[in-house]
Amino acid sequence: MDMTFNHPPKQYYTAGEMASFFEISKQTLLYYDKIGLLHPEYISENGYREYSIHQYQILEIIVNLRKLDVSLEAIKRHIENRSEASLKELLEQKVEECNSIIEKTMRIKAVITGIIDRMEDQHKYPLEAFMLEYRDARKIIVTDRSILGGDVLSSFSRHNLDALTDTGLRDRGAGWIVSKNDLESKENARPCAFFSVISPEYNGVERIGIQKAGIYLVKYINGSFHSNRKRIIGEIWDYLHKNELIPVGDLYIMPLRNHWMTADRKEYIDVISICVKYK
């Protein structure tokens, strides 16, 4: 193709013309000038900003690196010290940032997938029926209410902060524990601590415990444990006596359907579990 120009190229271009070459606004050019990233070649007596091919080349770098989501600060450093090594370092840093974003996105995806799976699982189990199942040991964070003077909401919020992931969500929520001793007294069987299931790799706080492996008596409650506490405790002891079982651990209560999914407490679903053995 014949690249011979019939007319000599223009020497200067207005802000509007320069902005149109990259489909950006004139306000963007003004901002780049304000922060010292791209100054016009000169400003005419009537106030017009004039840009040369040199500014075009700099703007080409800026616009394309911004499309890669490179920060203006990093772009400015590169432009002021342009070299092959500088560009390579800038791009390698961006690759590391992308890898970090991908890793965080995958964690978010895993948490969301876990929540969806458990929402679907809640419809698979019969409500108000006892089941015996084996469970492997799992790592949990446990927060005693007495840490903050027994105030329930203060302790619960402290627990949530300790157990919170960097995504702000967990695939499993926070539950309650009724101690084995309190369970035996029946009338005083009230939650004494909060717990959250965590990954085996988690080492964020000191109050990490293990929910031991074993045979668990499990029941999915229609409604909250709190609203049905006396009935549920009585049913647990009736089942244990009839089947010659004894509790060998605390009672764990985990909400499955709660205020996130319904405003009607009667539609809540809690799952209770306690490690047991035969007499």
Q: Write out pLDDT tens, residues 215-233.
A: 999 999 999 898 888 899 9
pLDDT tens digit sequence for 103-145: 989 988 888 888 888 888 778 888 899 999 999 998 888 887 6
- CA 106 → CA 26, 98, 101, 112, distances in Å? 38, 12, 9, 10
Decide if 95 is inside a domain.
no
- 128 lies in the same domain as 241: yes
pLDDT at position 97 over 90: yes
Domain end marker among 82, 114, 140: 82
Phi, psi angles (nearest 5°) of residue 135: -130, 135
The CATH code of the domain that includes 159 is 3.20.80.10
pLDDT tens digit sequence for 187-222: 667 778 888 887 766 666 667 788 899 999 999 999
Decide if 100 is inside a domain.
no
Structural domains counted in the chain: 2
- 149 lies in the same domain as 273: yes
pLDDT at position 167 over 50: no
- Per-residue model confidence (pLDDT) at position 216: 97
- 170 lies in the same domain as 252: yes
Phi, psi angles (nearest 5°) of residue 249: -165, 180
The CATH code of the domain that includes 22 is 1.10.1660.10
Instruction: Give the residue from 240, 160, 254 showing the smallest Cα distance to 211.
Output: 254
Decide if 105 is inside a domain.
no
Domain end marker among 31, 63, 82: 82
- 250 lies in the same domain as 141: yes
78 and 90 Cβ atoms separated by less than 8 Å = yes
Only one residue has tokens 């010290």, namely 81
Decide if 185 is inside a domain.
yes
Domain that holds residue 25: 13-82
Q: What percent of the chain has pLDDT over 90?
A: 51
* Of residues 58 and 3, more confidently modeled: 58
- Per-residue model confidence (pLDDT) at position 1: 40
pLDDT at position 275 over 70: yes
- Per-residue model confidence (pLDDT) at position 150: 61
- 256 lies in the same domain as 152: yes
* Of residues 169 and 245, more confidently modeled: 245
pTM over 0.85: no
Q: CA–CA separation, 145 vs 154, rounded Å?
A: 8
Phi, psi angles (nearest 5°) of residue 56: -60, -45
Instruction: Give the residue from 208, 192, 207, 219 showing the smallest Cα distance to 274.
Output: 219
48-57, 63-72, 184-193, 260-269, range with the lowest pLDDT:
184-193
